[in-house]
Structure 1
Amino acid sequence: MVLWWIGNAVLLFVVLPVVIGLLNRVLSAVERIRAATDDILTHGVELAGELDDTPELLARTDETVRQVAVGATRYAGSVATLLPPRASEADRASTRQVEV
C-alpha cells in the first residue's frame, strides 16, 4: 500500500508537471502558427485583389513591346546604312595571307 502512495505521489509531482509543461509548449507553438496563417490569409486575399488588373497590364505590355520592336528595327536599319560593310572572315583571311 505504501508503494501505491509513492507511485501516486511521483505521478502527481513529477510526471504531471512535465506533461503540463510539454503541453504548454505545444499549445504556444500552435497559437503562433495560427497567428501566422491568419496573417498569410489576410495578405493573400489582399494580393489576390491586386491581381485583377493583370490582363490589362499584359495587354499594355504587349503593345509597348511591339512599339519598341518597330522603333528598334528602324534604328538598326538606319545605323546599318551609316556603317561601312564588314569584311567576312574569308576576306580577312585572304588579306592576311597576302600581307605575309
Structure 2
Amino acid sequence: MKLSYVYILKCSDNTYYTGVTSNLNNRLIEHKYGKYSESYTYSRRPITLEFYAEFTDINIAISTEKQIKKWSKSKKLALINNEFEKLANLARKTFD
C-alpha cells in the first residue's frame, strides 16, 4: 500500500503552503533547499513543517489538499493546532 501525504508548511513570511506528495521526507528536503526556483516556497525559506496527514488513496489526498488550499489562515491554524471543534465555525462567513 502506497501512502500519500497532505502537508502544511509555515514560510518565513508567516504564510502557509499546502501540498501533496507520495514521499514526504524527500519533498521537505526539496522545499528546504529550494529545488524549484519558481515554487511558492523558494523565496519564503526557511520553512517548517506544521502539519501532515497520511492517506492510502491519492485521489482523497489530492481532494483534501485542494480543499485546505481554499481555507482561511485561521482555519488552517485550527487544523494545525488540532482544534477540530473550531473548523465548522471558521467555515461560516460573517456579514456586517
Shorter chain as denominator, the TM-score bin is under 0.3
Structure whose CA Rg is larger? 1
Write 1 or 2 for the structure with the bigger share of helix. Answer: 1
Which structure is higher in strand share? 2
Q: Which has the higher contact order (CA 8 A, sep 6+)?
A: 2
**TM-score normalised by L of structure 2:** 0.18
